[in-house]
Structure 1
Amino acid sequence: MDIEITTLDGKKSGKVSLSDTVFGLEPREDILHRMVRYQRAKARQGTHQTKGRSDVDRTGARMYRQKGTGGARHHSQAAPQFRGGGKAHGPQSRDHSHDLTKKFRALALRHALSTKAKNGSLVVVDDMSAKDPKTAALRGQFTKLGLQNALMIGGAELDGNFQKAARNIPNIDVLPIQGINVYDILRRHTLVLSKAAVEALEARFNGEGVK
């Protein structure tokens, strides 16, 4: 698959051939769904917790005598039905993450990349750099490219001026190649890769067969 390379100013800068084993798969929603669930579950803090009846500080004495009151029989004031009592079956701190194999996670990333390529939402730029950390200037370049909601993936090291200029633009995320992930790819409309990012991705998946 061949795709045109463009500059940030919107000018053509040649073509690059994308590997079909990385960008040419037939996207599967079930794989992408499992991967997004994995990422979102892993991101959960799991610190939500309520006090049960054994955790609240209430007297353990019987509220009133067992018989003769004409009312229901109660004992501890820490029971859930009383104000100030413990919560019944409330949430407890726990780890929400679950496992997915490394092979599956790599496959999901390739399916996410293939989704953007198939939908025509993949853009390759020659370089992600800026002379000055000026947000207005970079926003003008993005307008020329039609980028309003995009994830931008650079090389192993990001240009400092480009990163500073882009971080104030709404709906634009900038990550190094090490941070590429399925959730961020799918949550943005357009995926923008630098030439260095394309080379790094194809080197990463070199030798893996299509499954």
Structure 2
Amino acid sequence: MANYDVLKVDGTKAGSVELSDSVFAIEPNNDVLFEAINLQRASLRQGTHAVKNRSAVRGGGRKPWRQKGTGRARQGTIRAPQWRGGGVVFGPTPRSYAYKMPKKMRRLALRSALSYKVQENEFKIVDNFNLEAPKTKEFKTTLTNLELPKKVLVVTLGEDVNVELSARNIPGVQITTPEGLNVLDLTHADSVLITEEAAKKVEEVLG
């Protein structure tokens, strides 16, 4: 267990919180991280690519010339692959690129990504945002006070409507919950800003 500073929205220290080393301070496993990122990127692919093979191309039902006696090579249809306008051989067909990964590996990848952010000082804990109403200017001031870069992943406990509405017009800011936390978002962000309650929830889920 290690102590982490908890900050206020004005950037001053509010206190500290003790979090498990098995979640936030492990040696990152780069191989598992690589596999988890590939898995997510694969599942994001549309897979709607398609071409027409010789059976799908319109026309070509009639034999272009008789089988024998012309001196030319025998042909059965003008939609065979060697013809202009013919079908494609072994072309792409609609498919899903998604595949599965063992649960233990997925959890290890998340712990590795979180630990990497902590090691690189790209992980900050805030006590609470205290937004009574959606205020983009106020939320932007909070990010400035906490000296956060442009690409920030904000993690809140449950869906916080005021935070979501305040941040949605700020480029580079993404909002998620402990349940929605994933490796791709963690590695893509320059910094992670998480509430104290959300950090404890992540520890509970991944610990």
- How far the C-alpha of 1:158 sits from its partner, in A, is 2.6
Higher deviation after alignment, 81-90 or 4-13: 81-90
**Aligned ranges 1:70-109 → 2 under 5 Å:** 73-109=74-110
How do 1:185-204 and structure 2 match up within 5 A?
A: 185-204=186-205
- 1:70-110 per-residue CA deviation (whole Å, 9 max, x = no partner) reads 66543311122334322221111122122211111111111
Aligned to 1:160: 161
Q: TM-score, normalised by structure 2?
A: 0.90
Secondary structure of 2:129's partner?
A: coil
- Bigger mean CA deviation after superposition, 79-88 or 15-24: 79-88
2:54 corresponds in structure 1 to 53
Q: What is the identity, as a one-letter code, of the residue corresponding to 2:200?
A: E
Equivalent AA in structure 1 for residue 156 of structure 2? G
Describe the SS at the equivalent of 2:154. strand
Uncovered stretches (5+) of structure 1, i.e. residues with no partner = 207-211
- Paired residue type of 1:177: P
Q: How does 1:1-211 map to 2 (within 5 A)?
A: 1-66=2-67, 73-147=74-148, 148-155=150-157, 157-206=158-207
Unmatched tracts of structure 2, length 5 or more: none
Q: Deviations over 1:15-38 (max 9, x none)?
A: 112211001111121110001111
In structure 2, what is the Cα distance between the partners aligned to 1:158 and 1:100? 27
Q: Which amino acid aligns with 2:201?
A: A
Indicate the SS of the match to 1:192.
strand
Contact 1:128/1:154 (8 A) holds in 2: no
Q: With structure 1 as the length reference, what TM-score do the two structures score?
A: 0.89
Structure 2 distance, partners of 1:182, 1:49, is: 30
* Post-superposition offset of 1:66: 4.7
Say which SS state the counterpart of residue 25 (structure 1) adopts. coil
Count, aligned residues: 205
